[in-house]
Amino acid sequence: MDLAEIRETLTHIDTEILDLLGQRFQLIPAIVAEKQKLTLASFQPEREKELFQFYETQAQQKGLNSEFVHRIFALIFDEMRTCQDNHKN
């Protein structure tokens, strides 16, 4: 593979990541509705802790830096909470 092909592949992968993030954020109205039905707060520290542990294991199995993966998901979770709070209003 030459550099142009590698870059094209990376762009394709990045587009898939963005598509998946879009799918994740499209679930916000359903998340808000279910949490309201169950009278749960937007922030669920125990759930987040479980997920971080799961992602750390997944990162290690895939040969990824677990701190890097933690930072990525911390950003995603923070934005999800913000969007959930905004969706409630």
- Tell me the domains of the chain and their CATH numbers: 3-88 (1.20.59.10)
pLDDT confidence of residue 42:
85
State pLDDT tens for residues 32-42: 999 999 999 88
How many residues are there in the chain?
A: 89
- Taking residues 46-54, report their average pLDDT: 97
| Calpha distance 89→86 (Å, rounded) | 5
- Please report which confidence band the pLDDT of residue 71 belongs to, taking 50, 70 and 90 as the band edges: very high
- Please report which confidence band the pLDDT of residue 68 belongs to, taking 50, 70 and 90 as the band edges: very high
CA distances from 20 to 4, 27, 63, 64 (A): 24, 11, 21, 19
pTM as predicted: 0.89
How much is the mean pLDDT over the chain?
Answer: 96
